[in-house]
Structure 1
Amino acid sequence: MKLASSAEFPLPPAAPMSTAKVGRYNPLLALKDLHYRRFAIGSIVSVLGMWMQKIGVAWLAWELSKSPFWLGLIAAADMLPSIFLSSFAGSLADAHDKIKVLRSAQSVAIMQSVALAFLSWFGLTTVEVLFALTLVLGVSSSLEQPARLSLIREIVPPDYLHAAVALNALSFNLARFVGPIIAGVLISEINVGVTFAASAVAIAFFSYALAVIQVQKVADRPADPVQKAGTTDGFRYVLGNRSLLATLGLMGMTGISVNGILQMLPAVSDALFARGIDGFVGLMAASAFGSIVSGTITLARPPSAQGALSIALAALCATAALAVLALTPSFHFALVAIFCMSFANMYAGIGGQALLQLESEPGKLGRVMGIYSMIIRGGPAVGSFFIGAAATFVGMVIPVVGVAALAACYSGLIALAFRQRRS
C-alpha cells in the first residue's frame, strides 16, 4: 500500500481553539488516518505502561521506607528532571526528527524498566536503588515527552488535526488513571515486579509502532539544530500569548496540588484512612472512573472550545475537591471527593493540552510542549516533595489543604480575569 506523502497534506497553521467556532467534536475521525491510528494505539499502550510503573514505584517506595519523605523524594526523582531538561528537549523536538528523539529516549526507558523488574522480583531493591533508577527514567521521560506531544502535528492531514489533538489529549489523560488501576491489581494479586516488566513491554510496543509510521516535513524546522531553536525562544513566545501563559499557569497549579497528591495516594490510603493497598486501589479506581466519565463527556464538547476560562473553572473545582479529600474523616466520602477531583482535573487537562497544541505555531510547538512537559511533570514533583516533607512534621492534612488553597486562589483569579475580558 502506498504511503501518503507530505505533499498530499502540507502542515497547516494552527487554528486558535480559544476563538474558533467549534461544533460537535468526533475525535474518532482521526483514526481514519493509518499513521495516526498506529501512533495513537502505540502511544496509549506506552502511557498505560508508564503509569503502571509510576504506581509500582510509589508503592514499592512506601513499602521499603514507610516514609512520606522518601515517597515524595522518589516521586520528585521521576519528575524533577523535566524542570531542567524539558525546555531543551522541546528545542530538540523542533530541530530534529521527532521519531529518532523518541526512540532513543525509549531505549533507555526499556532498559531501566527491565532492571527494576529483575531487582524487584528477586527482592534486591533498596530505597536508594529505587531512587537512582527512577531518576534515570525521569531524565528519559523529560527528553521524550515534548517530541511525543508535538509529533501529532506531523502525522495527520489537516482535516483530522482538531480531532486528533482532542483524541490524543483524551487518551493521554485517560491512561494516566487507567494504568494505575491495572498496576494496583497486579501489585495486590501478583508482585510489584510485574508492573515494571509490563512497562518495558508497553514501551517496546510503542517504539515498534513509531518505526512503521510516516510523518510530514515541517517547513520551518531550524536548519542549525539547537542554536536556532533556542530554549529561550519558547519562553518568549509563551510570554507574548496570554491564553498560552494562563493555561500553562493553571496546569502548573493543578500539577502541584491535584497531581501532586495523586503521587502520594499510598500515603493517603495508609496515613489518613488506614486502608493499605485495598484503600489505595479503591482511591485509584474512583479517580479513574471520574476521569473516564469526564473524558467521555468532552468527546462531544472539548473544554478548549471555550478557552482558558473553562479550564480555570475546572481547575478551581478540582482543587476544592482536593481540600475536601484531605479534610473528610470518611473513606467513602473521600471516594466521592477524588471522583469529583479527577473529573474536573481531566476536563482541565484535555482542554489545556488541546488549547496549547492548536494555538501554537507549528515551528514553535515543540518548545511550547517542552514548557508544558516541564510544568506537568515538574509540578507534581514539587507538590509531592513538599507534601511529603511537610507531612513528616505536621501530618498529611495541613500541607494538602495548603497547596489546594493556593491553587484554588490562582485558578479563581484567572477565571475572574478571563470572565471580565469576555464581558
Structure 2
Amino acid sequence: MAFEVLKDRNYALYLGGNTVSWIGTWMQRTAIGWLSWELTESSTWVGLIVLAQYLPLVFIAPLFGVLIDRMDRRRYAIACLLVQILFNTGLFVTHALGFLNIHALLACCVLLGIGNAAYQPIRLTLIHDIAPREFLTQAISLNAVVFNVTRLVGPALGGVSISTIGVGGTFLINTLTFLGTLLALLVVQIRPTARSQKGGGVLFQLREGLRYIKSTPKFLELFILSVAIAVLGRGVLELLPAFAGGVFHSGSSGLAILMAVAGAGGIVAGVVLSGTTRRSTLVTFITIGCALQGLFVLMLGFSSQFLLAALSIFGIAAMSTLASIGMQAALQADLDGAFRGRVVSLWGMTTVAGPAVGASLLGALAQMTGLPAVAVLSGVLCAVVCCGVIWRSRFFPLGSGARAVG
C-alpha cells in the first residue's frame, strides 16, 4: 500500500512540520527570483542570486556532515532552525527598511545559503532516523511527493502574496513557517544511531567520508550521475524566471505556472516511486530518469511555444525526481551509519548546490548565446554523461557488468 509509512506517528509529525516550512520556502524563492529579475532584468543576476543561496553547500555542508556524525542530531537540527529563523528575519527587516537592492539581496542570500548548508544534511539524515526502516524508500518517495506538492502550491501562493502583501510580506510568511518544523522536532522520537568513533579533526573525518564513497563503486557512480542531473538538468529549472520573463514574456504569472508544472512533474515521479519495494524496480526507475533527463532539457531548448516549454519542464522535473530520489533511496539503504552524516551532506551538496552552480554557469553563457541554445547544449551534455555511466556501470541493468553476469 502506497504511503503506509504515514501510519507512523513520528514520521507523520516530521513530514507535517517540513510541509509547512517548504510552502514558505517556495513562496520566498519565487519572491527572491522575481525580485532579482525586476531589479536587473538579467539572467546572469538571476543565476547569481540562486548560486548565492546554495553555493555554501559546496564549501561548508560537508563540514557540517562531520558534526552530524559526532553530535546529538535533535539538538543540532533545532540549533540550525533557530539560525535560519534569524537569517530570514534579517532578510525581511532589510527589505522593510528599504535597503534591499540587488547587492544587499545577494548578501542576504549568502547568509540564507549558510543556514541552508547547515540544515540540509540533517534534514536528509533524519528521514532514516525517524521513518520505519522497512518503509525507508516509501518515506523518501513521500518526502519527494510532498516537496513537489509544496513546489506546486508554494509558487502559486507566492504569486498571490507578492501581488497582495508584497515581497516583504512573503519574506515574513516564510520566516514564520519555520516554526512548523521546529515544533515537530521537539516532539518526535529519533532512533539512536552509531556515531563516528574515530579521532582526528573535522578535515580528517571528512576525508574518511570521501574515501568511503570512493571505495564503493556503486556510491561513486551514483554521485557522478547526481552531479550530471543536478548541474545540467535541474540547473536549467533554476533559470525559469529568465525563461518566463526573457523568452516567453509571460511575467510573474507565467513563472508561477512553469514552477507549478515542475512541481507536478515531481509529484508524478514521487507517486510512481512510492509503490517501489523491489531493488530491481528501483534501479530501473533510476535508469529511466537518468537516460531521459537530457532529452527533455533538449526539448526545452527547441520549444518556441509556452505550452511545449511547459511539457518539457514537466518532463525535466519528473525525470530528475525519478533519478535523484531513487538514487537517494538506494544510497540511504546501504550506508554505514557511522558515515551517514558525511555521505548525506556530500549528497545534499550535489543535489542542492549542483542546480545553483549549473544556473550560474548556464545563465552567464546565456548572456552570449541565448537561453534556448544553452538548454540544447545542456541537454546534450547531460545525455552523454548519464548514458555513458549507465552503460559502463555494474549497478544498472544496461551496464557491462549486468551483461557479463547475465
TM-score, normalised on structure 2?
0.90
Encode CA deviations 1:31-70: one digit per residue, 9 max, x unaligned.
2222222111112222332232222211111111111111
- For residues 279 and 45 of structure 2, the distance between their equivalents in structure 1, rounded to whole angstroms, comes to 37
- For residues 267 and 165 of structure 1, the distance between their equivalents in structure 2, rounded to whole angstroms, comes to 31
Amino acid at match of 2:290: A
3-state SS, counterpart of residue 60 of structure 2? helix
Report how far residue 121 of structure 1 moved.
4.8
Aligned CA RMSD, in angstroms, stands at 2.3
For residues 326 and 244 of structure 1, do their structure 2 counterparts lie closer, same or farther at Cα, with a shift above 3 Å needed? same
| Pairing partner for 2:301 from 314, 326, 330 | 326
Report what 1:142 is aligned to.
Answer: 117
Encode CA deviations 1:141-169: one digit per residue, 9 max, x unaligned.
11111111111222244444443333334
CA contact (8 A) 1:243 1:308 kept: no
Give matches, 1:124-163, under 5 Å: 124-163=99-138
- For residues 151 and 73 of structure 2, the distance between their equivalents in structure 1, rounded to whole angstroms, comes to 23
2:223 matches 1:248: yes
Give matches, 1:227-376, under 5 Å: 227=202, 230-301=205-276, 305-308=280-283, 310-376=285-351
| Pairing partner for 2:380 from 386, 389, 405 | 405
| Pairing partner for 1:379 from 339, 347, 354 | 354
For residues 225 and 46 of structure 1, do their structure 2 counterparts lie closer, same or farther at Cα, with a shift above 3 Å needed? farther
- For residues 279 and 39 of structure 2, the distance between their equivalents in structure 1, rounded to whole angstroms, comes to 42
- For residues 270 and 215 of structure 1, the distance between their equivalents in structure 2, rounded to whole angstroms, comes to 45
Amino acid at match of 2:235: G
How many residues are paired up?
A: 398
Report what 1:15 is aligned to.
Answer: none
Give matches, 1:9-88, under 5 Å: 26=2, 28-88=3-63
3-state SS, counterpart of residue 230 of structure 1? helix
Amino acid at match of 1:339: F
CA contact (8 A) 2:291 2:387 kept: yes
| Pairing partner for 1:422 from 389, 402, 405 | 402
| Percentage of pairs with the same residue | 30
CA contact (8 A) 1:255 1:375 kept: yes
CA contact (8 A) 1:313 1:412 kept: no
- For residues 303 and 59 of structure 1, the distance between their equivalents in structure 2, rounded to whole angstroms, comes to 42
Amino acid at match of 2:339: K
| Pairing partner for 1:179 from 147, 154, 164 | 154
Question: Which structure 1 residue ranges, 4+ long, deviate > 4 Å from structure 2?
Answer: 223-229, 302-305
For residues 305 and 173 of structure 1, do their structure 2 counterparts lie closer, same or farther at Cα, with a shift above 3 Å needed? farther
CA contact (8 A) 1:94 1:229 kept: no
- For residues 230 and 150 of structure 2, the distance between their equivalents in structure 1, rounded to whole angstroms, comes to 16
Unmatched segments (≥5 aa) in structure 2: none
Report how far residue 315 of structure 1 moved.
2.3
Report how far residue 305 of structure 1 moved.
4.6
- For residues 276 and 194 of structure 2, the distance between their equivalents in structure 1, rounded to whole angstroms, comes to 32
3-state SS, counterpart of residue 80 of structure 1? helix
Report what 2:193 is aligned to.
Answer: 218
CA contact (8 A) 2:17 2:181 kept: yes
For residues 214 and 208 of structure 1, do their structure 2 counterparts lie closer, same or farther at Cα, with a shift above 3 Å needed? same
Amino acid at match of 1:372: W
- For residues 226 and 159 of structure 2, the distance between their equivalents in structure 1, rounded to whole angstroms, comes to 26
Report what 2:175 is aligned to.
Answer: 200
For residues 397 and 325 of structure 1, do their structure 2 counterparts lie closer, same or farther at Cα, with a shift above 3 Å needed? same
Unmatched segments (≥5 aa) in structure 1: 1-24
- For residues 304 and 263 of structure 1, the distance between their equivalents in structure 2, rounded to whole angstroms, comes to 31
Report what 1:165 is aligned to.
Answer: 140
Amino acid at match of 1:77: A
- For residues 304 and 289 of structure 1, the distance between their equivalents in structure 2, rounded to whole angstroms, comes to 25
CA contact (8 A) 1:290 1:340 kept: yes
